[in-house]
Amino acid sequence: MAATVHHAQTHADVTRDVVATLGTPGRGYNLMLAAAVSAFLIGAGTFVMLLKDGLGLAGYSPPVMWSVYITTFVFWVGIGHAGTLISAILFLFRSPWRTAVYRATEAMTVFAVMTAGLFPIIHIGRQWFFYWLLPYPNSRWLWPNFKSPLIWDVFAISTYLTVSTTFLVVGLVPDVGAARDKMTGWRKQVYSMFAFGWKGTQHQWRHYTRAYLYLAALATPLVLSVHSVVSWDFAMSIVPGWHGTIFAPYFVAGAIYSGVGMVLTLLIPLRKALKLEHMITEYHFDNLCKLTLLTGSILFYAYAMEYFVAWYSGNTFEQTTFWRRAFGPQWWAGWTMIICNAFVSQLFWFRKVRTNLTALFVISIFINIGMWFERWVIIASSMANDFDPWAWQVPVPTWADWGILLGSFGWFGMYFLLFARTFPVVAIQEIKEMIPMPRKGGAH
């Protein structure tokens, strides 16, 4: 227990330290926010060009009609998996190490899924008709095709975004109440509004704790289902390299792996910027690394199994696709994916690596790069090497692809940074729950 709540020994310490993060931001924070907003503006400008000139700018060319945008969509959905895994699944398992990190990861989830949600809209071409995805009939009274995995995906992602946001907001209520009680002036008014009348009475706790438990129970299968449904966007088709029964667990493991990678990328600088080193400690990073090691090893197995199944199937198309992944024109993308995901994660067997924050940060960047490339390899390279060799292509992203990709990082970073300064980024109430209250006579 001492390891999870390092120097914050009393309830008052916890409130003071976390509420202090809501003060006036420093120069480093402002620079990061400025960088994020600039990146977002580049993305927004690119999107305006796409609206004006169409998807031709993005280098879409048959047979590669799913390229950087769908790759980035799957990448961000994947990033969104670690948050709810840590906040919901580890809550049900009563893992004490989740407490200090779950709020930041949950916020990361919500903003990552918000970012992912932009991509199908960007990708569809006539973006102003995105509402056709909603379940209402067209002009001939024909309803959406619910047998299509693309419609499953719309439901899965919207449900995940809604439930994750609900879970985040519900978790925030007692902490915003605590922040309200430390604020003055207009900020007190604003926090009072978001505290929804929270006072911490026995009636509120009684219903709140049970509701939180049931929300966690509902969110748990959702975490596992969302990336399964995303994987079926591919696996339900017969494209070589996509049509695999292992796709659902393979994608879920990959999603958690990439999500934890992004958690490391965000938390290492954030704890320093917000002076939370005594709350988010080596102990938390050590556990996050173990989770990364587990999911990275599952990925290692899945990669090996994909190649094995391609060979064992005796299917020429499948074998050719996998041969070209490793030795074709985009071999470097295939090997980036394998090295960054399957091999780099194995470094976490060593405790020295798990407790070295500089190494962790560098590795987390490799994980992010590796996981983007995993989706690129699966999506673009499979489409590029379809059944007709005469139509094969080498997909080459254009400036419009890179602009939107950069913009997505800006959009995500902007929301995350604004959140980290506006709401308690560490769960005050749950940390307090772990610190024994003082007893008469000085005992804890």
Q: Which of 96, 144, 269, 397 binds another protein (CB under 8 A)?
A: 144
From 53-61, 153-161, 339-347, 356-364, give the range in contact with another protein by CB under 8 A. Answer: 153-161
One-character DSSP codes across 393-422: ------HHHHHHHHHHHHHHHHHHHHHHHH
* Position 214 contacts another protein (CB under 8 A): yes
* Position 206 contacts another protein (CB under 8 A): yes
* Position 94 contacts another protein (CB under 8 A): no
Q: Which of 36, 178, 239, 338 binds another protein (CB under 8 A)?
A: 178
B/e letters for 43-56, b = 16+ CB within 10 Å, e = fewer, are: beebbeebeeeebe
Q: CB nearer to another protein: give 155 or 335.
A: 155
* Position 286 contacts another protein (CB under 8 A): no
* Position 182 contacts another protein (CB under 8 A): yes
From 78-86, 87-95, 322-330, 427-435, give the range in contact with another protein by CB under 8 A. Answer: 427-435
Q: CB nearer to another protein: give 5 or 414.
A: 5
Please tell me the distance from the alpha carbon of residue 82 to that of residue 288, in angstroms, as a whole number.
10
* Position 132 contacts another protein (CB under 8 A): no
Whole-angstrom CA distances from 21 to 17, 105, 184 are 7, 17, 15
* Position 215 contacts another protein (CB under 8 A): yes
Helix, strand or coil for residue 215?
helix
Min dist. Cβ of residue 378 to another protein (A): 21
Q: Which of 127, 166, 393, 422 binds another protein (CB under 8 A)?
A: 166
x/- string (CB under 8 A) for another protein, residues 11-40? xx--x-------------------------
Q: Which residue has the tokens 């954030």?
A: 270
> In this structure, are residues 368 and 262 in contact, taking their beta carbons and an 8 Å threshold?
yes
Q: Which of 126, 210, 272, 275 binds another protein (CB under 8 A)?
A: 210
Interface size with another protein, residues (CB under 8 A): 58
Q: Residue 291's CB: how many other CB atoms inside 10 A?
A: 21
Q: Which residue has the tokens 């976490």?
A: 348
One-character DSSP codes across 2-14: TTTS-S--SHHHH
Which residue, 83, 25, 9, is CA-closest to 275? 25
Please tell me the distance from the alpha carbon of residue 263 to that of residue 361, in angstroms, as a whole number.
10
Query: What does the longest C-alpha to C-alpha distance in the chain come to?
Result: 84
* Position 208 contacts another protein (CB under 8 A): yes
From 79-87, 151-159, 330-338, 368-376, give the range in contact with another protein by CB under 8 A. Answer: 151-159
* Position 253 contacts another protein (CB under 8 A): no
Min dist. Cβ of residue 285 to another protein (A): 25
Q: CB nearer to another protein: give 219 or 262.
A: 219
B/e letters for 9-21, b = 16+ CB within 10 Å, e = fewer, are: eebebbbebbbeb
Q: Which of 95, 127, 225, 313 binds another protein (CB under 8 A)?
A: 225
Q: CB nearer to another protein: give 209 or 346.
A: 209
Q: CB nearer to another protein: give 121 or 183.
A: 183
Distance of CA 290 to the CA centre of its chain: 18
Please tell me the distance from the alpha carbon of residue 14 to that of residue 171, in angstroms, as a whole number.
16
How many Cα atoms are found within 13 Å in the side-chain-facing hemisphere of 271?
20
Residues of this chain that bind another protein (CB under 8 A): 10-12, 15, 135, 137, 141-144, 146-147, 152, 155-156, 159, 162-163, 166-167, 170, 174, 177-178, 180-182, 196, 199-211, 214-215, 218-219, 221-222, 225, 229, 428-430, 432-433, 437-440
